[in-house]
């Protein structure tokens, strides 16, 4: 008889995962990127050069660079954030992590206890929401408009919490190519957020993972760059520009915060080889590589917009993306995107249902997130057409009288 582990599982392990069955034919979920854009030859050259030069240093945890990660990569991040986000930081304020998700986990471990409360955008990254739920942390969603999180509602929410005798432990925001809405918060609103955070004594956790993927490469300064009170913790990643599977992200915090983060990173350091390869590759190639991504991603964005217009018509409402790899779509109220996702999944079409990407799920059951970063343009067109067929069969949406027009 096999041992039954179910009585001894922790609450964290109570849910069960599923076995990997491969990617579906039409894959509109996740933060995957176009396979052809991974700079394989340049990375291979960088790997060969840096591994032969410094491979022996991997005999030591942290090599010669300490627990914060490979110093040449941290130095590149410092210069890159200065040029792209107007941030003035030092290498000692950068911690290399195993993707931005580890950065998020470290911030949560640093600041949160069960029963705490966090304030964040009401439409939000599903991974952030599931982590807060798992920790037993409450969260309050703030609605967005075309400029991102609404500051009037943020102030109201913090005032309501104060009246209840509760203090938000941090404001979590994705201000640049917000996930999933794709909005970009204006500089004026970023300054207003800092003023409100100061008024209520709350830190800000700025997630800037998509900020390099703006078509015109024009972005406001990071909130961290505008901060004069050292209340902003910042994270970024190379997953969306170079390769998700490299799993290299970074956390930026002033030393008075970073010194408390370091003891929480108990993995003996993120993978050194990935860090060394990126440190060799990025200074010579990053800007050229990112510039080449923009027209390709914009073409995919245009393809998914055209496909939605052609096959869903007026039944699909959305804002045309200005960057990033996803589009946030609102369907008629009778559509339940969770049911749609299950039915579409049975036919090889993967989508993100709205309730999994929003604080108030029931109010967003007719929304869905479609990622266009990985599939080809032909695959996008075919997949959206098939998704429209499934949606029509399940909900009578869109109405069919030949091709639909938007």
Q: Give the C-alpha separation, 84 to 218, whole Å.
A: 9
Q: What is the pLDDT of residues 132-162, one digit of tens each?
A: 999 999 999 999 999 999 999 999 999 999 9
Q: How confident is the model at residue 406 (pLDDT cuts 50, 70, 90)?
A: very low
What is the torsional sign of CA 123, 116, 232, 288?
Answer: negative
Q: For the whole model, what pTM was predicted? A: 0.94
Could you give the residue ranges of the DSSP H alpha helices within 86-221?
99-111, 126-134, 151-163, 187-200
* Fold category of 40-285 in CATH: 3.40.640
Q: How confident is the model at residue 405 (pLDDT cuts 50, 70, 90)?
A: very low
Q: What is the pLDDT of residues 178-207, one digit of tens each?
A: 999 999 999 999 999 999 999 999 999 999
Selected from 3.40.50.2300, 3.10.180.10, 3.30.465.10, 3.90.1150.10, the CATH number assigned to the domain covering 22-39+287-395 reads 3.90.1150.10
β-pair type (326-330, 367-371): antiparallel
Q: Looking at residues 161-165, what average pLDDT do you find?
A: 96
Spans of all domains in the chain = 22-39+287-395, 40-285
Q: How many angstroms separate the Cα of 94 from the Cα of each of 25, 84, 221, 239, 258? A: 39, 16, 18, 17, 8
Q: How confident is the model at residue 14 (pLDDT cuts 50, 70, 90)?
A: low
Tokens read off for 21: 């069955």
Q: What is the pLDDT of residues 291-311, one digit of tens each?
A: 999 999 999 999 999 999 999
Q: What is the pLDDT of residues 350-395, one digit of tens each?
A: 999 999 999 997 889 999 999 999 999 999 999 999 999 999 999 9
Of 51-55, 161-165, 318-322, 378-382, minimum mean pLDDT range: 51-55
């Amino acid at each position: 008889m096999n041992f039954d582990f179910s009585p001894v599982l922790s609450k964290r392990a109570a849910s069960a995962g599923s076995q990997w069955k491969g990617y579906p034919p039409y894959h509109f979920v996740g933060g995957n990127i176009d396979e052809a854009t991974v700079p394989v030859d340049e990375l291979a050259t960088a790997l060969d050069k840096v591994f032969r030069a410094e491979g022996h240093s991997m005999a030591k945890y942290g090599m010669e660079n300490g627990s914060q990660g490979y110093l040449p990569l941290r130095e590149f991040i410092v210069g890159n954030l200065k040029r792209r986000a107007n941030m003035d930081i030092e290498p000692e304020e950068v911690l290399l992590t195993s993707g931005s998700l580890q950065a998020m986990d470290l911030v949560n471990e640093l600041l949160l206890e069960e029963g705490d409360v966090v304030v964040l955008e009401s439409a939000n990254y599903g991974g952030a929401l599931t982590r807060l739920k798992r920790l037993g942390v409450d969260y309050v969603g703030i609605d967005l408009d075309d400029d991102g999180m609404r500051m009037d509602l943020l102030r109201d929410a913090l005032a309501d919490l104060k009246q209840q005798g509760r203090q938000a432990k941090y404001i979590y925001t994705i201000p640049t190519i917000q996930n999933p809405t794709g909005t970009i918060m204006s500089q004026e609103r970023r300054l207003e957020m800092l003023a409100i955070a100061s008024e209520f004594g709350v830190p800000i956790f700025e997630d800037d993972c998509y900020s390099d993927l703006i078509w015109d490469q024009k972005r406001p300064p990071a909130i961290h760059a505008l901060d004069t009170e050292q209340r902003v913790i910042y994270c970024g990643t190379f997953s969306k520009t170079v390769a998700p599977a490299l799993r290299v992200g970074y956390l930026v915090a002033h030393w008075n915060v970073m010194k408390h983060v370091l003891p929480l990173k108990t993995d003996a350091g993120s993978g050194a080889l990935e860090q060394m390869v990126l440190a060799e590759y990025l200074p010579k190639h990053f800007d050229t590589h990112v510039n080449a991504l923009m027209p390709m991603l914009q073409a995919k964005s245009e393809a998914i917009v055209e496909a939605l217009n052609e096959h869903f018509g007026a039944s699909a409402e959305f804002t045309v993306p200005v960057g990033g790899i996803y589009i946030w779509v609102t369907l008629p109220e009778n559509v339940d995107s969770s049911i749609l996702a299950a039915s579409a999944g049975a036919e090889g079409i993967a989508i993100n249902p709205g309730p999994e990407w929003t604080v108030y799920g029931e109010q967003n059951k007719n929304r869905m997130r479609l990622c266009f970063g990985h599939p080809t343009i032909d695959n996008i067109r075919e997949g959206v057409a098939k998704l429209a067929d499934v949606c029509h069969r399940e909900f009578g949406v869109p109405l069919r009288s030949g091709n639909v027009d938007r």
